[in-house]
Structures are given as C-alpha cells and as structure tokens.
C-alpha cells in the first residue's frame, strides 16, 4: 500500500464512513481523530519518517502494540483510555478490510491485537444528605447561583451525561404539563425524561434573569460571556459547588464528584426508591440493560454489609444439645459403620 493510499483511506474513513454511513456523534469522531493523531505521531518517531512518508507496512501489529505500551508507560493513560485508542484503530482496519481485500491479512493482524482487561470499577455516588448539602450551599440570589442551581437540579433529575446537558437548547424543555426535557444521547438516540416541579421552577427563574423565553432556540446554559457552556465548564461548576458544600458536609471531601457522579447518584436513588429497572434504563438512556443491572449489584452488596453490621449488635444465642464432635461414644459408633 502506498503512502497516498493510506492518506486517502483515512480521509474516506473519517469523512464518509464514520459520519455518513455510521452516523457517529461529533465527540466520537473527535476521539477517533485524537487516537489516530497519536498513532501517526508515534509511528513517525518509531520509524524515523515524516507523516507523509508512512505506508501501511509502517502500521504493523507490532507497531500498534508498542504504541499501546507507550500510552500506558509514557503518557500514563489508564487501561480504559488505552482500550478506547485501540477501538479507534480497530474501527479503521475493520472498514479498510472491506474496502480493499488485498490487505485483508494485514487488517486481521491488527484486529487480533487484544483489548486489555481491567478491573470493574464500582460507580461512586452521593448519599441523599450530601445532595441536600450541595443545594443548600448554593446562594440562588445571584445570577450564577441561579444557573448552577438549575443546572445541578437538571443533572440530578435526569441523570444525563455532561455532553447531553451542554447540547440542550431552551426549546428542548417543555414547561407546560406534562413537563419533560428532550435529550439527545449516544448514537443520536433521543429520549424524553420527566421533570420535577422544583426543576422546572429553577430553570424558569434562571431563564427569566437572562430575559430568555420558553421555546427560544438558544443554549439552555451559558457561561459568563454568554456562550454555550462546555463540558469543562460543567465539571468546574460541579467541583466548585461540592467544595462549598464540603465545609458543612465533610463526607464530600472523601469523594471525587464529577458530572458523571451525579448520573450514578440518580440511578442509585431511583433504584433505592423501588423504581423499575426498565424505567431506570429508559430514564438514563442505557443501551443495554446489563449496564443498569450493575447498580442492582452495588445496592445488594451495600445492603449485605448493612445487615452484617447489624448482626454484630445482636446477642449470640448458645446452641442447645450435645456437641457431637466431643462425644467419643458417637464417634466410635460412626467409625464402626
């Protein structure tokens, strides 16, 4: 394969296959782009070539394995990040194998590079008292306080992802009964989530101070300069409000609370309120019910620990009857059977 063919195939992969054929989201395409930028930079240094001189042979399975080791050893990437980069590489060679059968064997050698196993992480979530402490610490008299109060209430109400939150416009919210928000999730899947009265009131108060009317086609949440809020802005708001609440709720200091922590919190609180699993799956926009089931396992483990801690408080009853282990006559009789 010539260097021109490699460039042409990569361009077709990003511009036509990912966007037009698979319809992947912008965030996914950008993640794939970053993975390939890193791989090409590594291959240039490894083979001592310019990027424009790289060929398919320079991207052999051994180079990919060295690249993955480099991500962990030099860039200190986690196993999950390493696997995400590999997924982007696999995606290209899956596509490439179908467009040019001459290089099927080469593509198969890349696809044979395995993902690295990683320990399943227990989702971190907040207790109800901690959530109350965060909202209690927000001063809603100020414009920023109103914005952050509305934002966090919407996060807690819906359990939506950060990128889903920042992509919302005002017209995605229905303010008349039944109140709900239209959310555009992964794979451009749309779902609706009902909104509590408190959430609607908080959003209305925030929009009023911005002189924005319900139904306007404008970003729902904006930064101090009036531009659409970013995922990094949401992360900063969460960290800032948690730090404020930690002064009166020290248990928050033991947690690393991110926007995704609010998502886990919503799932656990719905589960603990006996909401049906199918409803929770629809509420959060899980593609697989297995993802929702993981919260059940966490909840059962915690209930088991609570029962064990209570069990220690109960007085132990003495067992009645003869201890047959010490009854020599019984043991002798059994040995003769």
pLDDT at 36: 97
User: pLDDT confidence of 333, banded at 50, 70, 90?
Assistant: low
Catalytic residue among 49, 210, 260, 269: 260
Specify whether 295 is catalytic: yes
Q: What is the pLDDT of residues 185-197, one digit of tens each?
A: 876 788 999 999 9
Q: What is the pLDDT of residues 16-25, one digit of tens each?
A: 999 888 888 8
User: pLDDT confidence of 27, banded at 50, 70, 90?
Assistant: confident
pLDDT at 322: 47
Buried b (16+ CB within 10 A) or exposed e, 8-39: ebbeebeeebbeeeeebbeebbebbeebbebb
Q: What is the pLDDT of residues 31-82, one digit of tens each?
A: 999 999 999 999 999 999 999 899 989 999 999 999 999 999 999 999 999 9
Which residues, including other chains, have CB under 8 Å from residue 161's CB and lie 6 or more apart? Answer: 185, 186, 259, 260, 263
User: pLDDT confidence of 324, banded at 50, 70, 90?
Assistant: very low
Report field, pTM of the whole predicted structure over 0.75: no
pLDDT at 268: 87
Domains by residue range for the chain, with CATH: 3-111 (1.10.150), 128-310 (1.10.443.10)
59 burial level (CB within 10 Å; 0-12, 13-18, 19+): buried
Catalytic residue among 46, 186, 191, 228: 186
pLDDT at 276 over 80: no
Specify whether 47 is catalytic: no
Residues of the chain with pLDDT > 90, as a percent, come to 66
pLDDT at 330: 56
Lowest mean pLDDT among 122-136, 148-162, 167-181, 201-215: 122-136
Specify whether 263 is catalytic: yes
Specify whether 286 is catalytic: yes
Catalytic residue among 106, 147, 161, 264: 161
Long-range own/partner contacts, residues 283-291 (CB < 8 A, 24 or more apart): 283/158, 283/159, 283/193, 284/159, 284/160, 285/160, 285/164, 285/183, 285/185, 285/186, 285/189, 285/191, 287/186, 287/187, 287/189
pLDDT at 177 over 80: yes
pLDDT at 199 over 70: yes
Mean pLDDT of 251-267: 92
User: pLDDT confidence of 329, banded at 50, 70, 90?
Assistant: low
Instruction: Kindly report the average pLDDT of the chain as a whole number.
Output: 86
Catalytic residue among 90, 263, 264, 281: 263
């Amino acid at each position: 394969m010539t260097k021109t063919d490699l460039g042409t195939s990569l361009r077709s992969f990003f511009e036509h296959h990912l966007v037009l054929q698979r319809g992947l989201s912008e965030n996914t395409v950008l993640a794939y782009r970053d993975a390939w930028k890193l791989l090409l930079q590594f291959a240039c240094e490894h083979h001592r070539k310019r990027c424009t001189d790289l060929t398919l042979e320079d991207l052999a399975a051994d180079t990919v394995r060295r690249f993955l080791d480099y991500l962990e050893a030099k860039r200190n990437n986690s196993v999950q990040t390493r696997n995400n980069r590999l997924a982007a590489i696999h995606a290209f060679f899956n596509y490439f194998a179908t467009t040019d059968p001459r290089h099927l064997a080469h593509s198969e050698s890349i696809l044979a590079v395995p993902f690295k196993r990683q320990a399943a992480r227990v989702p971190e979530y907040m207790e109800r008292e901690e959530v109350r402490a965060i909202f209690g610490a927000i001063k809603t008299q100020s414009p920023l306080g109103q914005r952050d109060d509305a934002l966090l209430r919407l996060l807690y109400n819906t359990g939506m992802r950060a990128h889903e939150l920042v992509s919302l416009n005002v017209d995605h919210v229905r303010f008349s009964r039944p109140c709900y928000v239209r959310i555009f999730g992964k794979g451009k899947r749309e779902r609706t989530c009902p909104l509590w009265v408190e959430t609607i009131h908080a959003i209305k108060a925030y929009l009023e101070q911005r002189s924005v009317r319900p139904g306007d086609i404008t970003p729902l949440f904006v930064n101090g300069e009036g531009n659409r809020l970013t995922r990094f802005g949401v992360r900063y708001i969460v960290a800032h409000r948690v730090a404020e609440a930690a002064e009166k709720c020290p248990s928050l200091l033991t947690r690393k609370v991110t926007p995704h922590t609010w998502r886990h919190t919503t799932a656990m609180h719905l589960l603990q309120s006996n909401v049906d699993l199918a409803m929770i799956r629809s509420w959060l926009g899980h593609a697989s019910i297995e993802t929702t089931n993981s919260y059940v396992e966490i909840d059962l483990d915690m209930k088991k620990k609570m029962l064990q801690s209570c069990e220690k408080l109960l007085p132990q009853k003495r067992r009645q009857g003869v201890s047959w282990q010490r009854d020599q006559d019984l043991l002798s009789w059994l040995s003769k059977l």
